[in-house]
């Protein structure tokens, strides 16, 4: 929901940061891999009970997620880069809730499973829509220049970041936050299915 605004607001700053990175010969794919490493480290730190360290890794991961696209726009994007970006994002989305489950299975297990289920359903609805949109030659720049067709929804990257940050600030909030965001995420998936029935109708 806030990703469009964030893209327009942060875009110029990310481009400014990306120029010296690109000039140094650092590729967008290298940043994508580094972002994944930071995201996985966040999950490990959460599982170990170091949520504040995890928060730093989450923010670093999301900064990299913005920078890789900015560098790709300077150096020229590739299909491999777009593929790595979306797949590694899903690694990150799974690693953080899983970290909370490992940290306290008794308290967070069910809530984490429900949240991961909602991510699974939403991811399927998102990727399937993108495939059908590509098949029909549909294009959008609502989320900036992307390798895939990005549909809008209540639960997007920005909202996910907010939930993860809040959970890291106070791990005891994870269960209610997980249930709440799972509901928002499933609503997003359902709305995308409804949209698909209208857009892709024969």
Q: Return the CATH number at 89.
A: 1.20.120.1760
Percent with pLDDT over 90 in the chain: 67
Provide the b/e sequence for 65-94 (b: ≥16 CB within 10 Å): bbbbbbbbbebebeeebbebbbebbeebbb
Q: Report the distance separating Cα 150 and Cα 62, nearest Å.
A: 18
Residue 151 has pLDDT above 90, yes or no: no
Q: How many CA atoms within 13 Å lie on the side-chain side of 111?
A: 24
pLDDT of residue 150: 63
Average pLDDT, the chain: 90
For the chain, counts of helices (H) and of strands (E): 7, 0
pLDDT of residue 140: 66
Instruction: Tell me the pLDDT band of 177, cut-offs 50, 70 and 90.
Output: very high
Instruction: Tell me the pLDDT band of 135, cut-offs 50, 70 and 90.
Output: confident
Instruction: Name, of 30-39, 67-76, 134-143, the range with top average pLDDT.
Output: 30-39
The range of the structural domain enclosing residue 135 comes to: 3-199
Higher-confidence residue: 155 or 144?
155
pLDDT of residue 7: 74
Please state the domain count of the chain: 1
Residue 8 has pLDDT above 80, yes or no: no
pLDDT of residue 149: 61
Residue 98 has pLDDT above 90, yes or no: yes
pLDDT of residue 156: 84
Mean pLDDT within 157-166: 94
Which residues lie across from 53 on neighbouring strands? none
pLDDT of residue 1: 63
Higher-confidence residue: 133 or 100?
100
pTM listed for this prediction: 0.89
Read off the pLDDT of residues 35-92 as tens digits, 9 standing for 90 and up: 999 999 999 999 999 999 999 999 999 999 999 999 998 988 888 998 999 999 999 9
């Amino acid at each position: 929901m806030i990703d469009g605004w964030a893209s327009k607001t942060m875009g110029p700053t990310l481009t400014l940061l990306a120029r010296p990175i690109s000039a140094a010969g650092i590729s967008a794919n290298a940043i994508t891999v580094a972002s994944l490493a930071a995201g996985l480290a966040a999950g490990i730190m959460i599982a170990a009970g170091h949520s504040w360290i995890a928060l730093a890794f989450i923010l670093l991961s999301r900064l990299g997620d913005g920078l890789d696209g900015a560098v790709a726009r300077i150096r020229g994007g590739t299909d491999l880069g777009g593929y790595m970006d979306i797949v590694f994002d899903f690694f990150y989305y799974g690693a953080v809730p899983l970290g909370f489950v490992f940290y306290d299975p008794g308290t967070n297990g069910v809530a984490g499973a429900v949240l991961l289920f909602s991510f699974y359903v939403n991811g399927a609805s998102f990727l399937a829509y993108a495939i059908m949109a590509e098949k029909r030659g549909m294009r959008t720049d609502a989320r900036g220049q992307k390798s895939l067709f990005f549909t809008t929804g209540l639960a997007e990257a920005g909202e996910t970041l907010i939930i993860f940050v809040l959970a890291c600030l106070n791990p005891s909030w994870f269960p209610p936050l997980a249930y709440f965001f799972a509901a928002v995420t499933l609503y997003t998936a359902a709305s995308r299915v409804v949209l698909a029935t209208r857009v892709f109708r024969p």
